[in-house]
């Protein structure tokens, strides 16, 4: 019997595996968080962003600088913590071999979370703190309803805002500042 003063049991990877297939399951600091799959506008923004970045930074034939692995909704393990960011990138010099596992264990060089009413608080608090604690150098937040992008860089363990863009501003922001694109390609009218 669990006493009223004891903590609930810590979530484990088994909880992630047993989550409903229509949910995204994550563990942060021992707590299981589940959210429904992304709504269409949010998913569209993430897919369009991933497509642009793959074209210029992950595809050797895209005319950009290449040198990245860009993936949508990868499962990343930071020890016992498990997260599923919307779009993520690894420099190939840090992760020269693409993994065969069902998840990634290498800390990404860049993470993008696409905000929605159901994920906003978790993304802007616990996940942001976890990414800083793990040493993720770059973090972007995209809000398809507000039509904004905020880009941060990690400096001495704290996030520094690099820029805040809106509507049709050019996205040419670290670490993807070699080739730009208009932010409004991510929005559905």
Hey, what domains does the chain have and what are their CATH numbers?
A: 38-186 (3.90.1570.10)
Q: What's residue 64's pLDDT?
A: 64
The whole-number pLDDT of residue 3 equals 56
pLDDT tens column, 34-68 = 998 888 888 999 999 999 999 989 877 655 678 99
For tokens 């989550």, the residue is 19
Q: From its phi and psi, is residue 147 left (phi > 0), alpha (psi between -120 and 50) or beta?
A: left
- Mean of pLDDT over the chain: 92
What is the CA angle 35-57-51, rounded to 5? 45
Mean pLDDT of 131-154: 97
Residues 165-185 have pLDDT tens digits of 999 999 999 999 999 999 999
Sign of the Cα torsion 12, 18, 19, 22 reads positive
Integer Cα distance of 35 and 71 in angstroms: 20
Contact 77, 16 (CB under 8 A): no
């Amino acid at each position: 019997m669990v006493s009223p003063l004891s903590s609930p049991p810590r979530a484990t990877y088994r909880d992630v595996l047993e989550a409903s297939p229509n949910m995204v399951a994550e563990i942060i600091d021992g707590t299981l968080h589940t959210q429904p799959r992304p709504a269409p506008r949010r998913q569209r923004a993430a897919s369009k962003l991933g497509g642009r970045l793959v074209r210029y930074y992950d595809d050797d034939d895209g005319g950009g600088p290449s040198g990245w692995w860009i993936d949508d909704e990868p499962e990343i393990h930071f020890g016992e913590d498990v997260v599923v960011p919307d779009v993520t990138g690894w420099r190939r010099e840090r992760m020269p071999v693409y993994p065969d596992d069902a998840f990634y264990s290498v800390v990404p060089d860049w993470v993008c979370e696409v905000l929605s009413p159901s994920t906003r608080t978790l993304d802007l608090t616990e996940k942001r703190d976890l990414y800083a604690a793990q040493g993720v150098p770059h973090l972007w937040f995209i809000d398809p309803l507000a039509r904004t992008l905020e880009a941060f860089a990690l400096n001495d363990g704290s996030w520094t805002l690099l820029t805040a863009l809106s509507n049709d501003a050019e996205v040419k922001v670290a670490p993807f500042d070699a080739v730009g694109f208009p932010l409004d390609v991510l929005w559905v009218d």
